[in-house]
Amino acid sequence: MTETSPPATGGQPDRSALVLGAVLILGGLLLLAGQVLDFDIGALGWPTIVIGVGVVLLIIGLFVSQEQGMVVGGTVVTTVGLVLLYQDQTGRWESWAYAWALVGPAASGLGMLLWGLRSRARSEIRNGAWAFLGGLGLFAIGFLFFEGIIGISGERLPIADWVLPALVIGIGLVVLGRGLISRGGPDLT
């Protein structure tokens, strides 16, 4: 039976662990200072805290640990915080009916796009851009449907009836075109 030892790191510390540890210590010190100085961190608005956590994850992913998962996670958490900030400030909580498209496909696509730019991976840039644009398209369709046709917030948007079908057809044409281009065209044999 042979014993395996962990790979040698050459005495180099784990940068991502160092940065994450430093961020946690700094966060703890800020919380402690807030208690000592009797500052209500909730006065900043709780969505601001979510945004801050997302930005920290994004920065760590892009510049410290250089890890795609942290970048995508950072963009998703930041986007959740931004949507929550909008909803908290306006009271428009019903916007979750369509805002999920910004959080899911759009934010994760943006994270993939940023990672692709960071790592110079053309496939990540392409896939991230399409996911981002797809999420924005879903958001636009949802917004027009829920706010323009149903009037989920209490009153309908003053838009022409043809706008939503035209948008859906336009997005369908883009998706169809992308499918034909990425496959090299239709196989007619």
pLDDT in tens, 70-128: 899 999 999 999 999 999 999 999 999 999 999 989 999 999 999 999 999 999 999 99
Residues whose CB falls within 8 Å of the CB of residue 21, separated by 6 or more in sequence, listed in order = none
- Return d(Cα 6, Cα 22) in angstroms, integer: 25
* Contact yes or no for 70/56 (Cβ under 8 A): no
Distance of CA 49 to the CA centre of its chain: 16
Q: Report whether pLDDT(1) > 60.
A: no
Whole-model pTM over 0.75: no
Express each pLDDT in 11-52 by its tens digit: 677 776 777 787 788 878 887 888 888 877 677 778 988 998
* Contact yes or no for 102/78 (Cβ under 8 A): no
Q: Which residue has the higher pLDDT, 81 or 182?
A: 81
Express each pLDDT in 132-165 by its tens digit: 999 999 999 899 889 988 889 888 888 888 888 8
* Contact yes or no for 105/131 (Cβ under 8 A): yes
Check residue 183 and give its pLDDT: 60
Check residue 154 and give its pLDDT: 87
Check residue 184 and give its pLDDT: 53
Cα angle for residues 122, 123, 126 (degrees, 5° grid): 85
Q: What is the sign, positive or negative, of the torsion defined by CA atoms of 163, 165, 167, 173?
A: negative
Express each pLDDT in 55-71 by its tens digit: 988 988 888 777 888 89
How many CB atoms within 10 Å of residue 77? Answer: 22
